[in-house]
């Protein structure tokens, strides 16, 4: 099947959304499908045409930027060309250009699937609020034009103003794809030595330095954590320099980073075996996001796959990995004292939070995700539109890990 994936930013840009699409596209290509990614050439040094892991990438030059959005005069003509050649169009939101592509699918009688990764909430300011409203309007138009709307969990779908209108109509639940490279014991020990982790309680966070990630919540929780665990250190994996639209946020946090310079280590972006070694050296991972731009937190599953519990915030969707597996604790959104208590509880008794990683790995494998999408794509091609949302067996198995887990 010929599949067109459309999103504003793609790899090497690092975000949960880009990693999701990369994993899905690569897996679909490995299964023998013809996959093309249409995206922006957000960095002029990137090639306009590329093939990576069997996935064809078409990057459209950027003429101007509006906050984190991009304006691409060449996007429309290329979207027409690629839409004519594809069997199914798969849009990834939030995305300003999505309605135009969805309309092309309608005109060409091609199935249009929309995956809604998260709400868009830009940093404060009158201009950004206007951008939020414009993008929300475009997202809603794309949703009306799409044949199916996908999200990660029913929890997020129920609580999202955007997604909840599609419940029972065309909202489908598909588990996100998670995979990590292998890491040898030598890799793990070298990572431990590099950051002098021997004998330390290691707290992790894996996120780019962006306002919605709530990094300050962890920073503000450190006094209470250090009072009980003076040997604790924090490893922060993820880009932290020159993040588009986040310069002010980085400046606000700079004094806190300086205050905890000896124990809070900004590692930058980690990939491959080094990322796996990072997880294997953690006692726990924190996810302290502040708003619905975070809908799940793929890093939680990456950590759990390596036997690492999670201290997560109580955002809809984000709370689900811990709720489904029992591998950690959930605390209030933006509540640094509650986060500190969760961290201390896990550090005090880590083994009681660790569950069978094999089931988690199977439930969130890229193959599982790709298979769910292919079922949906084929059903739409055959006009077999379901009147209810799909709920994969993967989630049923996970809920069994913890008695009393609520439906997602």
Do residues 63 and 73 touch, judged by C-beta distance below 8 A?
yes
CA distances to 26, 42, 212, 343 from 216, rounded to whole Å, are 35, 28, 10, 15
pLDDT at residue 384, as a whole number: 45
Angle between helices 215-228 and 336-348 (to 10 degrees): 50
Distance, CA of 368 to CA of 382 (rounded, Å): 22
Contacts of 9 (CB under 8 A, 6+ apart): 15, 17, 18, 39, 40, 42
Whole-structure pTM value: 0.79
Taking alpha carbons only, the member of 289, 288, 381 closest to residue 339 is 288
pLDDT at residue 406, as a whole number: 47
Taking alpha carbons only, the member of 174, 103, 87, 154 closest to residue 380 is 87
Q: Give the chain's length.
A: 408
Do residues 71 and 62 touch, judged by C-beta distance below 8 A?
yes
Residue 296's SS3 state is coil
Distance, CA of 101 to CA of 124 (rounded, Å): 29
pLDDT at residue 387, as a whole number: 38
pLDDT at residue 240, as a whole number: 93
pLDDT at residue 69, as a whole number: 75
Taking alpha carbons only, the member of 301, 194, 193, 285 closest to residue 237 is 285
The total of other beta-carbon atoms located within 10 Å of residue 223's CB is 12
The total of other beta-carbon atoms located within 10 Å of residue 125's CB is 11
Contacts 24+ apart (CB under 8 A), 66-71: 66/131, 67/122, 67/127, 67/128, 67/131, 67/245, 68/122, 68/244, 68/245, 69/8, 69/96, 69/131, 69/135, 70/8, 70/40, 70/42
Q: DSSP secondary structure string, 10-75?
A: -TTS-SHHHHHHHHHHHHHHHTT-EEEEEEEE-STTS-SEEEETTEEEEEEEP-EEETTEEE-TTH
The CA angle 215-220-222, to the nearest 5 degrees, is 105
pLDDT at residue 121, as a whole number: 61
Distance, CA of 69 to CA of 246 (rounded, Å): 13
Q: Each residue's pLDDT tens digit in the chain (408 positions)?
A: 999 999 999 999 888 899 999 999 999 999 999 999 999 999 999 999 999 999 999 999 999 987 677 889 999 999 999 999 999 999 999 888 899 999 999 999 999 999 999 876 655 666 555 666 767 778 889 999 999 999 999 999 999 989 999 987 799 999 999 999 999 999 999 999 999 999 999 999 999 999 999 999 999 999 999 999 999 999 999 999 988 778 999 999 999 999 999 999 999 999 999 999 999 999 999 999 998 888 898 999 999 999 999 999 999 999 999 998 999 999 999 999 999 999 999 999 999 999 887 778 878 899 999 999 999 999 998 874 443 344 455 556 555 555 545 444
pLDDT at residue 203, as a whole number: 98
CA distances to 99, 173, 339, 352, 400 from 404, rounded to whole Å, are 40, 21, 23, 17, 8
Contacts of 403 (CB under 8 A, 6+ apart): none
Tokens of 291: 């708003």
Residue 148: which H helix or E strand, with range?
A: strand 148-151
Where do runs of H (alpha helix) occur along 146-172?
A: 154-159, 161-164
- Domains (ranges, CATH) in the chain? 2-177+365-398 (3.40.50.2000), 185-359 (3.40.50.2000)
The total of other beta-carbon atoms located within 10 Å of residue 174's CB is 25
């Amino acid at each position: 099947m010929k599949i067109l994936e459309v999103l504003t930013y793609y790899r090497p840009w690092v975000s949960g959304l880009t990693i999701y699409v990369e994993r899905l596209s690569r897996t679909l290509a490995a299964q023998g499908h013809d996959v093309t990614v249409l995206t922006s050439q957000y960095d002029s040094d990137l090639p306009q045409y590329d093939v990576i892991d069997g996935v064809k990438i078409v990057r459209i030059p950027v003429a101007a930027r509006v906050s984190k959005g991009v304006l691409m005069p060449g996007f429309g003509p290329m979207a027409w060309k690629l839409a004519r050649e594809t069997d199914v169009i798969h849009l990834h939101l939030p995305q300003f250009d999505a309605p135009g592509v969805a309309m092309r699918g309608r005109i060409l009688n091609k199935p249009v699937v929309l995956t809604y990764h998260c709400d868009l909430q830009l940093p404060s300011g009158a201009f950004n609020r206007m951008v939020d409203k414009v993008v929300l309007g475009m997202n809603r138009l794309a949703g009306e034009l799409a044949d199916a709307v996908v999200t990660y969990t029913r929890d997020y779908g129920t609580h999202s103003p955007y997604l909840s209108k599609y419940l029972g109509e065309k909202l489908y639940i598909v588990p996100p794809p998670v995979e990590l490279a292998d890491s040898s014991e030598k890799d793990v020990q070298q990572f431990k030595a590099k950051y002098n982790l021997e004998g330390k309680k290691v707290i992790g966070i894996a996120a780019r330095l962006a306002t919605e990630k709530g990094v300050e919540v962890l920073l503000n929780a450190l006094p209470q954590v250090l009072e009980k665990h003076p040997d604790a250190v924090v490893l922060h994996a993820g880009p932290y320099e020159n993040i588009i639209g986040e310069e002010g946020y980085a400046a606000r946090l700079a004094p806190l980073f300086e205050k905890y310079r000896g124990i809070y280590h900004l590692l930058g972006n980690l990939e491959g075996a080094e990322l796996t070694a990072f997880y294997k050296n953690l006692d726990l991972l924190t996810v302290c996001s502040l708003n619905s731009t975070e809908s799940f937190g793929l890093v939680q599953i990456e950590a759990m796959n390596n036997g690492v519990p999670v201290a997560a915030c109580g955002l809809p969707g984000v709370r689900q990995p811990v709720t489904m597996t029992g591998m950690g604790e959930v605390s209030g959104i933006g509540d640094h004292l509650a986060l500190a208590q969760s961290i201390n509880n896990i550090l005090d008794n880590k083994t009681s939070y660790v569950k069978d990683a094999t089931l988690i790995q199977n439930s969130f494998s890229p193959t599982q995700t790709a298979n769910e999408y292919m079922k949906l794509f084929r059903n739409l091609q055959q006009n077999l539109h379901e009147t209810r949302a799909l709920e994969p067996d993967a989630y049923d198995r996970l809920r069994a890990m913890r008695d009393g887990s609520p439906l997602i």
